[in-house]
Structure 1
Amino acid sequence: MKVIPSVVALLSLATLSTSVLANTPDFPHLVTTGYGEVVAKPDMAQFTTRVVETTMTAEQSKQAVDKVVSDFLTALKAQGVEGESITSSNLYISPQYHYPKNGKPELVGYRASRTINVTVNDLDKLNQYLDTALNAGINQVDNIQLQVKDPGKYQDQARMAAIKDANNKADFLAEGFDKEIKGVWRIDYNMPSSQPVLMRAMAMDAKTESNTYQDSTIVIRDRVDVIYQLD
């Protein structure tokens, strides 16, 4: 019984070695990694707001939250925000307790909360919508994400820049070693994930973040690994 794990381990190592060797060309070759990036200016945003109310009864906290959310959604729609640009979570209610040093926990009220996500297709109106949230009674903004409407266009540009970078490196290295590139033998590519610009979470005061996003940029990166065959 003790011999079986050793045999399995040897078989695994043999399989791994065969796989590695199979992926290594047996002819003169050159390996390069190309990097590309594009700097884009955000033209849209998404922000998440949350209203939290604590009252003596569950019904009171629910009514308080429902009123704020209703006022906020009504104001957004009046300003031209489409329904598909707004999503909201279900109402969450939890009892709040006071824990004295000696004695049983005491119920002191109920906290209700609800989250609303808003997509801003016109970045110039971001502050306006944040002010609308403030006026409606929203008391927290969890985050603001600055984005671009057509990320694929910028990703294509970054990918092309990565390809050119890989080719330029290969040409330079081959020339430096008095070699010629015969062709491309293998290309490895994994689609990178694009990260939006995240503004810090904040208490609900839109003016504290008034124009900090206006000069922000999004860097979209790409990468490609290439193996070239040499003469």
Structure 2
Amino acid sequence: MRVDNNKLPVICGLFLLVALALVILVAQPGIAKTRTASAEDPREIHVTGEGIVSVKPDIAYLSLGVESKGATAKEAQQSNNRIATKLIEALKAMGIAEADFATQNLQLYPETRYDSKTNQSILIGYRSSHILRVTVRDIDQTGAVIDALTNVGGNVVQNISFGLADDTSVRDQAIEKAVQDATHKAEILARASGVKLTGVMLISDNTVTPVQPLQNYRKEMASVAADAQIAVGSIDVQAAVQMVFGF
């Protein structure tokens, strides 16, 4: 068969187009697969870091007050009001600002006794309670505040907790420690895996502020001796971060 020389370039061009199309069709699945694998398997190291700074607290929070009994509701309430007023005056005399104490709970309720003979509850009197939430900014006064309570006839200390008036600088230190901890972990993982870190790709603060545990002193205080000694100890300020490093 004789091919016209004028048509030869056209035929060669068609062959080239067909060959190129076949190459693209064959190579395309491989390209897609490579991209998918890269997206599903990023070169990243994920770590978390923790930082803790222990400090001595400089502020105390107390829930304290008086619980009174009476044959009538009025008698119980009047007795309670009298002692609560003396307590507030004592707090002011100690230099505690009015903005640093407030009524946390106020109750007046009947007391009953069950009579098994009649299967009925018998009223035996009334009970009144007044609890104040007090912020003691001079933490060394904490014991003196409890002494003032007992001196005026108060008989309930529910909770004592400690904290910091301003924890900004301490919390910053805890965050710095958390970042250092996360970076150290990433470096160890990279070295053990034989890779080299290229930088931080993501960092987030995962700190959850813990609720300071309350020391529970809920009981009658009538027999408590004066000069209450309070062990302040230290508190932990914590921080946590999550970091992603590339390699």
Q: Give the shorter-chain TM-score range.
A: 0.7 to 0.9
- Please identify, of 113-122 and 152-161, the stretch whose mean Cα deviation from structure 2 is larger: 152-161
Superposition map of 1:103-142 within 5 A: 103=118, 104-142=120-158
Q: 1:116 to 1:75 in 2, by over 3 A?
A: same
Q: Take 1:39 and 1:74, find their aligned partners in 2: how far apart are those partners?
A: 36
- Please identify, of 168-177 and 75-84, the stretch whose mean Cα deviation from structure 2 is larger: 168-177
Q: Take 1:95 and 1:61, find their aligned partners in 2: how far apart are those partners?
A: 10
Q: Does the 8 Å CA contact 2:73/2:127 hold for their aligned counterparts?
A: yes
Residue of 42, 45, 62 corresponding to 2:57? 42
Partner of 2:76: 61
Partner of 2:246: 229
Q: Per-residue CA shift, 1:149-200, capped at 9, x if unaligned?
A: 1122211111110001111111222123221111222223323113335323
Partner of 2:14: none
Count how many residue pairs are aligned between Structure 1 and Structure 2.
Answer: 206
Partner of 1:212: 231
Residue of 185, 195, 201 corresponding to 1:179? 195
Q: Take 2:192 and 2:202, find their aligned partners in 1: how far apart are those partners?
A: 22
- Please identify, of 121-130 and 204-213, the stretch whose mean Cα deviation from structure 2 is larger: 204-213
Partner of 2:216: 200
Partner of 2:165: 149
With structure 1 as the length reference, what TM-score do the two structures score?
0.82
Unmatched tracts of structure 1, length 5 or more: 1-20
Q: Take 1:89 and 1:27, find their aligned partners in 2: how far apart are those partners?
A: 54
Unmatched tracts of structure 2, length 5 or more: 1-35
Q: Does the 8 Å CA contact 2:207/2:238 hold for their aligned counterparts?
A: no
Q: Take 1:92 and 1:75, find their aligned partners in 2: how far apart are those partners?
A: 22
- Please identify, of 33-42 and 97-106, the stretch whose mean Cα deviation from structure 2 is larger: 97-106
Q: Does the 8 Å CA contact 2:207/2:241 hold for their aligned counterparts?
A: no
Q: Take 1:135 and 1:207, find their aligned partners in 2: how far apart are those partners?
A: 8
- Please identify, of 168-177 and 220-229, the stretch whose mean Cα deviation from structure 2 is larger: 168-177
Q: Does the 8 Å CA contact 2:61/2:135 hold for their aligned counterparts?
A: yes
* Sequence identity percentage: 29
Q: Take 2:238 and 2:52, find their aligned partners in 1: how far apart are those partners?
A: 4
Q: Take 1:36 and 1:207, find their aligned partners in 2: how far apart are those partners?
A: 40
SS of equivalent residue, structure 1 residue 105: strand
Q: Give 1:225 deviation, angstroms.
A: 1.4
- Please identify, of 136-145 and 146-155, the stretch whose mean Cα deviation from structure 2 is larger: 146-155
Residue of 34, 51, 59 corresponding to 2:66? 51
Q: Given the alignment of the two structures, is residue 78 of structure 1 paired with residue 97 of structure 2, yes or no?
A: no
Partner of 2:3: none
Superposition CA RMSD, Å: 2.0
- Please identify, of 108-117 and 186-195, the stretch whose mean Cα deviation from structure 2 is larger: 186-195
Q: Take 1:91 and 1:198, find their aligned partners in 2: how far apart are those partners?
A: 21
Q: Take 1:206 and 1:118, find their aligned partners in 2: how far apart are those partners?
A: 21
Runs of 4+ in 1 over 3 A off after TM superposition: 206-209
Q: Does the 8 Å CA contact 1:147/1:197 hold for their aligned counterparts?
A: no
Q: Per-residue CA shift, 1:25-64, capped at 9, x if unaligned?
A: 6321111111110001011101001311111000000101
- Please identify, of 66-75 and 147-156, the stretch whose mean Cα deviation from structure 2 is larger: 147-156
